[in-house]
């Protein structure tokens, strides 16, 4: 009985692992999708990190990306429009809503080449905006957020 359960898990678990969607490289200077750690006063890049002294939570995951770098499609995607992170405009207030691989997500701080249409995996979506102008000293990054605000970490 135990053996059957173990064998079943070997089969099912490997299927689950193989079926797990993974993001391809998002940024031209970060082929391994390195995540942003913590940088002093600006906080940390992980999902659920504290913001505004604990009043808010970080609802996305930050992937390191130097200002001006090229941002790529992580897999074949459809662009579903603009996604701006701030109410008040600034130099990095742009981004896009995307779907693909059964996922719906946003990417902030990207100046997209276009706000609609499709882009193939590894092709350019746009350019990383000048985050250092707004947050001097921060680890510049693309913010990835699922449309349902769930944790995107498992996709990286
Ligand atoms: Zn973020």
68, 107, 133 from 97: Cα distances, Å: 20, 7, 24
For residue 75, the Cα-to-chain-centroid distance in whole angstroms is 12
- Ligand 1 centroid to Cα of residue 47, in Å, is 8
- Ligand 1 centroid to Cα of residue 140, in Å, is 10
Q: Give the pLDDT score at 40.
A: 83
Closest CA to 111 of 87, 89, 98, 92: 92
- Ligand 1 centroid to Cα of residue 58, in Å, is 6
- Ligand 1 centroid to Cα of residue 143, in Å, is 4
- Ligand 1 centroid to Cα of residue 61, in Å, is 5
User: Whole-number mean pLDDT of the chain?
Assistant: 92
Q: At a CB cut-off of 8 Å and minimum separation 6, what does 101 contact? A: 21, 75, 76
Q: At a CB cut-off of 8 Å and minimum separation 6, what does 95 contact? A: 82, 83, 84, 85, 106, 107, 108, 109, 110, 112, 143
- Ligand 1 centroid to Cα of residue 117, in Å, is 25
Per-residue pLDDT reduced to its tens digit, 98-109: 999 999 999 999
Per-residue pLDDT reduced to its tens digit, 37-74: 999 889 999 999 999 888 999 999 999 999 999 999 99
Per the document, the length of the chain is 156
Domains with residue ranges and CATH for the chain: 23-155 (2.70.70.10)
- Ligand 1 centroid to Cα of residue 1, in Å, is 47
Distance CA(47)–CA(27), nearest Å, equals 19
- Ligand 1 centroid to Cα of residue 130, in Å, is 15
- Ligand 1 centroid to Cα of residue 85, in Å, is 10
């Amino acid at each position: 009985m135990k053996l059957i359960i173990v064998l079943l898990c070997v089969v099912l678990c490997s299927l689950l692992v193989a079926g797990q969607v993974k993001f391809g490289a998002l940024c031209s200077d970060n082929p391994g999708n390195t995540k942003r750690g913590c940088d002093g006063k600006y906080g940390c890049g992980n999902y659920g990190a504290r913001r505004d002294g604990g009043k808010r939570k970080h609802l996305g995951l930050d992937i390191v990306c130097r200002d001006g770098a090229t941002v790529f499609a992580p897999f074949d995607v459809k662009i579903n429009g603009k996604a701006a992170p701030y109410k008040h405009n600034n130099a990095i207030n742009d981004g896009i809503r995307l779907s693909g691989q059964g996922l719906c997500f946003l990417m902030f701080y990207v100046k997209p080449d276009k706000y609609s249409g499709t882009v193939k995996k590894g092709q350019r979506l746009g350019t990383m905006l000048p985050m250092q102008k707004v947050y001097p000293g921060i680890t510049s990054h693309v913010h990835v957020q699922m449309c349902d605000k769930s944790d995107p970490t498992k996709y990286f």
